[in-house]
Chains A and B, each alone.
Chain A
Amino acid sequence: MNGRLIAIDGTVSAALHAAARALRADGYKGARLSEWDASRIFAELAEADDQSVPSARVLLLLYATDLAYRLKTEIRPALEDGRTVIATPYVRTALAFGRAAGLRGVWLHNLFSFAPRADESHSITHEDHAAPHHTGFVETASRFVGQSQRGLSPDRILQRTATFMTKMRQR
């Protein structure tokens, strides 16, 4: 593929949007943006009649499904056309969330092994961009996992995800 894939990962969706906008304004004007839940799986999950709470593992399988959809419909076609794609979030966000929820790294890496490696990766871990209109994967999934998993409040899982993001960036 001829294009360039730029991943922006992080815990706060508003910060990811802001970072993507800044990148587009700064040298990547024609870049294609690929955002979380393009497939609307999580939107449908939020509207489901069934009240059972999905675990972190189920949420990550659904995140991977959404990412497969984004790759098929947005990311790969644009890269094949030689365009730049800004994917926000991409794989690292999900890996960090999974580790924060106590899932094994080997399972998570296998799950996302279908996704191509980004040419450029940015991790946004500060949390001072909270905006009620932008709710992303980590915020949504943390609320579910906070209900289902003993000892992990939504705030705690957000903090832990940010910690894993920082660790990954340092590697």
Chain B
Amino acid sequence: MSTARQRALARFGVPGQRRGRLIAFEGPDGSGKTTQRKLFKKWLETEGYDVVTTKWNSSDLIKPIIKSRKAAKSLGPEEFSLLHAADFRHRAEQVILPALWSGKLVIADRFLFTGLARDVARGLDLDWVLRLYQPLIWPDIVFYFSVTPATSEQRVTATRTPGFYEAGQDVTAHADPVESYKQFIERIIREYESLALIFNFITINAEQSIGDQHLAIRKLFRESEVRPWSQWNVDAFADWLVSTRGDR
């Protein structure tokens, strides 16, 4: 067994040992997950948790590369998928894994499931996309904020016009972003619903009031047990320790 793997196992493989926690917030645009993430973070801090937040497509290194290509509308589905996987991996290595290693609680505002739902909705193969994200990091809890396509469309278009890729205009070929969004969000939600079943998400009815959703999240979080990390996470930590001089 490699030294890195031994270190990862020693840190996280023992039941009852103190470790960080990873909570993912997932759902389509307009599902209100960012509002809930902010409320949850505030509450966790009053409860004494040391919280780190990470958002989708936010690494300082890769985000500018994605942004310029989105502006030029030059990304094909594979490029779109690969760039977001690169952004995720860089954040995993620079933010998520170091925070978990030092015992912090990480809230991810969108996680790799966002990549899966969007890329499969663009016609890519689920298995190929999932493997891009290996070694997988598995959250303790995935809260899935469920809304209908109509609610998502209504909330998103109430204040703005969806962007070219957000509306899926690269694959629907609709000239009208709102019409394109209507079609694309249906596909995305269908993929999310499948992922929620496959990966055992905790579904939050995001059509409820903000307060009711927040109370439900608190309750579900309190009830969740801290189990030993899955084998997948031990592999992810071992990979990180080798590839980035983690915990140097």
Partners in one complex: yes
Chain A residues near B65 (CB-CB < 8 A): 41, 44-45, 62
Secondary structure dominating the interface of B = helix
Q: Using a CB-CB cutoff of 8 Å, which residues 74-132 of chain A contact chain B?
A: 101-102, 107, 110-111, 113-114
Q: Using a CB-CB cutoff of 8 Å, which residues 28-47 of chain A contact chain B?
A: 39, 41, 44-45
| Inter-chain contact B243/A68, CB cutoff 8 Å | no
Q: Which of B89, B94, B128 contacts A113 (CB 8 A)?
A: B128
A148-B90 contact, Cβ under 8 Å, with A50-B61, A68-B76: no
B interface residues, tally (CB under 8 Å): 27
Q: Using a CB-CB cutoff of 8 Å, which residues 22-71 of chain B contact chain A?
A: 59-62, 64-65, 68
Q: Which of B78-86, B137-145, B149-157, B226-234 participates in binding chain A?
A: B78-86
A148-B245 contact, Cβ under 8 Å, with A54-B90, A62-B86, A107-B131: yes
Whether a CB of chain B sits under 8 angstroms from the CB of A57 is: yes
**B binding-site residues for A, Cβ under 8 Å:** 59-62, 64-65, 68, 76, 78-79, 82-83, 85-86, 89-90, 93-94, 128, 131-132, 134, 239, 242-245
Can you give 25 A-B contacts (C-beta < 8 A)? Answer: A41-B65, A44-B64, A45-B65, A48-B60, A48-B64, A52-B90, A55-B243, A58-B62, A58-B90, A58-B93, A61-B82, A61-B83, A61-B132, A62-B65, A62-B86, A64-B82, A65-B79, A65-B82, A65-B86, A69-B76, A102-B243, A110-B132, A149-B244, A149-B245, A150-B245
